[in-house]
């Protein structure tokens, strides 16, 4: 006798079919138990509010949850600002490049993507190494 010739001694038992009516009751053996089956049960509105909140936990309606720091590229500064202007988080909001997060002015980091041809003064913003080089090369300053 080889191992591939072995067969089980008992046949496998078939799966019980439920949910097809008959004498199993209205729920056919599934559901209708637990909290809702208890006498005097009451679904607290507080619990309902927590349950309603569940789908929103993992970045609901957006791919990225906003953090405290927003990113702006040099190319956007070159388009929106004139020569000699001051770049700050407030001025970026006024120009429409950024917007407030929950009513507060966000932190800003300037990245070096693009080219800068204007002399700008940067205040109250973090800058990357490449952005700092590009701003100083164009004749601007960082405070």
pTM for this structure? 0.52
pLDDT of residue 30: 63
3-state secondary structure of 108: strand
Instruction: Parse the chain into domains and list their residue ranges.
Output: 69-142
Task: Tell me the pLDDT of the chain (143 aa) as tens digits.
Answer: 899 999 888 888 887 766 666 665 566 666 677 777 788 767 666 777 777 777 665 555 665 555 678 899 999 999 999 999 999 999 999 999 998 888 888 899 999 999 999 999 999 999 999 999 999 999 999 98
How far, in Å, are 17, 48, 77, 124 from residue 121 at the CA level? 75, 52, 11, 10
Architecture of domain 69-142: Ribosomal Protein L15; Chain: K; domain 2 (3.100)
pLDDT of residue 50: 76
Q: Which residue has the tokens 């952005």?
A: 131
């Amino acid at each position: 006798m080889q191992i591939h010739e072995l067969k089980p001694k008992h046949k496998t038992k078939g799966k019980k079919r439920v949910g097809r009516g008959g004498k199993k009751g209205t729920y056919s053996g599934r559901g209708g138990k637990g909290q809702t089956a208890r006498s005097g049960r009451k679904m607290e509105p507080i619990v309902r509010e927590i349950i309603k909140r569940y789908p929103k936990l993992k970045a609901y309606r957006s791919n990225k949850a906003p953090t405290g720091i927003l990113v702006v590229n040099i190319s956007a500064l070159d388009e929106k600002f004139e020569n000699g202007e001051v770049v700050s988080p407030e001025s970026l909001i006024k120009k429409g490049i950024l917007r407030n997060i929950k009513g507060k002015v966000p932190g800003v980091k300037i990245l070096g993507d693009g080219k800068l041809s204007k002399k700008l003064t940067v205040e109250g913003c973090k800058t990357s190494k490449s952005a700092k080089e590009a701003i100083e090369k164009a004749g601007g300053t960082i405070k």
